[in-house]
Amino acid sequence: KATDKIMGDEDCAFRSLLTAAPPLLNCDHGDPTMFEAYWNAHKDDHVKVGYANDTLSYFVKSKEQEGCPWFVSALLDDAIRELHSFVGNAVTGDRAIVVGNGSTQLFQAALYALATRDGTSTPVVSEAPFYSAYREIIDYLQSKLFHWAGDSKTFHPKANETFIEMVTTPNNPCGTMREGLGLGDKGTIVHDLAYYWPTYVPIISSFDSDVMLFTLSKCTGHAGLRIGWAVVKNPAVAKKMAEFVALNTIGLAQDAQSRAAGLIRTVIRGYGGKRRQDHCIADDNFEISLSDPKYLLAHEIRITEALLAKKFFHWSRQVMESRWVKVRSALAGNKNFSLQNNVASATHTFSTCTFSGTSHSTYPAFIWLKCEKEGTDCQMILKRNGILGRNGALFGVSTQYARLSLLDHEPAVDLLVERLTTLEC
Ligand code: PMP
């Protein structure tokens, strides 16, 4: 049973004796365990772990980049560039790749590199609802170089004041594609592209901005490897970011880098090494077109998970799409709550994904829910219904909003959908 799986078998029997209330289903964090289903099917793929005489130096075999110890292994640097050119979501030519312990470290490295250092503290803003960790991390750091200045919509820079704008696109929590407010020529935008993968959105163009942050956590799902990377145009900024990583953690684990490179290569290999547009390969000699329903009907071939399992992004998008179908139907007709995500509906237009060649909507990693009753606390209401979400206030908006992760294992998502179906105010 789904509930047994979430709580652990002994726990389940024990707790139900003590309380009649359903145990809370934790949808607070965006832990990407959904991807386990794919990697379980590929667990025998060779992903290098290493030998006893590896990793004896702080420094890795890296590409010579202006004599700076970047800490990025040549292997991972190549794999990242290949992945971006394969997916078509970011330009990497003539750009530096800086790696970090998750993009969480690189966010801090970017602030360190971009702060003005003229004796004043540089304001950092982001449009609400913003990714909650930006404010939390900046507040905790208490840096003299920068400070949190809140929602960019209500921020008015002083004359000649430079500032940093975090632009998350697609956005966490709501999934909207964002361009940033710009706010004149004194702002530097850092693009957080954690979710700019075909799993969550149609890829519409190759991003080419000054500082772009990515993370393996939301790409392949390997959050535990703690691998993030920044694609940076200005070599001086890249160097400063690498300096932060050096000061902060003296680089990052080389084993994790090797594994990350291996996983990225596995994803690319699943497509036969090259982009196939809307074609899906069943085996080496047999090709079917996903966009041709007549063919599929005539041959009674269903696009099974097994068939798609080879193709990572096709598989993950299909999983997200099916989750959104279930979520929408669970909340359909519930007048007390509304989905605030910009996701597929009868009226919402789809975009053609340049990666897959197919037309589809966005499938955000999070449900962004609003309780329509004025002055309510959506998180508390969800809690009463057995669901633990994250309060809208942490994202810079009212408590009428709450965020729920959609990246958990399938049984947990099914249980979430079950509870959303009967959600009461
Ligand atoms: N940016 C955004 C928008 C995120 O949602 C997350 C993960 N929740 C991160 C950055 C941090 O990712 P990492 O695991 O690489 O630190």
Q: Taking the domains of the chain in order of start, what are their residue ranges? A: 2-30+311-421, 74-269
Which residues contact ligand 1 via a Cβ below 6 A? 30, 102-104, 131, 168, 172, 192, 194, 215, 217, 223, 228
Helices 132-141 and 102-114: crossing angle in degrees, nearest 10, is 60
ipTM above 0.95, yes or no: yes
Tell how far the Cα of 194 is from the centroid of ligand 1, in angstroms. 6
Ligand 1 atom, smallest distance to 100 CA: 15
- pLDDT value, residue 295: 35
Q: Comparing 2-30+311-421 with 74-269, is the CATH topology the same?
A: no
Question: In this predicted structure, what is the pLDDT of residue 414?
Answer: 96
pLDDT at residue 22, rounded to an integer: 61
Q: Closest Cα to atom 12, ligand 1: which residue?
A: 103
Which pLDDT belongs to residue 287?
A: 36
Which residues of the chain are under the pLDDT cut of 50? Answer: 1-17, 275-306, 344-347
Give the CATH number of domain 74-269.
3.40.640.10
Which residue, judged by its Cα, is nearest atom 5 of ligand 1?
172
- Name the residue at shortest CA distance from atom 4 of ligand 1: 194
Q: Specify the fold of 2-30+311-421.
A: Aspartate Aminotransferase, domain 1 (3.90.1150)
- The protein residue whose alpha carbon is closest to atom 15 in ligand 1 is 102
**What's the rounded Cα separation, in Å, for the pair 317 and 323?**
10
Of 131, 190, 193, best ligand 1 pocket probe by most atoms within 8 Å of the beta carbon: 131
Helix (H), strand (E), coil (C) string for the chain: CHHHHHHCHHHHHHHHHHCCCCCCEECCCCCCHHHHHHHHCCCCCCCCCCCCCCCCCCCCCCCCCCCCCCCCCHHHHHHHHHHHHHHCCECCCCCEEEEEEHHHHHHHHHHHHHCCCCCCCEEEEECCCCCHHHHHHHHHHCCCCEEEEEEHHHCCCCCCCCEEEEEECCCCCCCCCCCCCCCCCCEEEEEECCCCCCCCCCCCCCECCCEEEEEHHHHCCCHHHCEEEEEECCHHHHHHHHHHHHHHHCCCCHHHHHHHHHHHHHHHHCCCCCCCCCEEEEECCEEEECCCHHHHHHCCCCCCHHHHHCCHHHHHHHHHHHHHHHHHHHHCCCCCEEECCCCCCCCCCCEECCCCCCEECCCCCEEEEEECCCCCCHHHHHHHCCEECEEHHHHCCCCCEEEEECCCCHHHHHHHHHHHHCCCC
Residue 96's pLDDT is what?
94
Query: Strand, coil or helix: what is 418?
Result: helix
User: Which element (helix H / strand E) includes 316?
Assistant: helix 312-331
**Residue 286's pLDDT is what?**
30
Atom of ligand 1 nearest to the CA of 168: 3
Indicate the average pLDDT of the chain.
85
Atom of ligand 1 nearest to the CA of 107: 10
The residue nearest atom 8 of ligand 1, judged by CA position, is 30
CA of 16 to the centre of ligand 1 (A): 35
Nearest protein CA to atom 1 of ligand 1, as residue: 194
The string of DSSP letters for 243-269 reads HHHHHHHSS--HHHHHHHHHHHHHHHH
3-state secondary structure of 360: strand
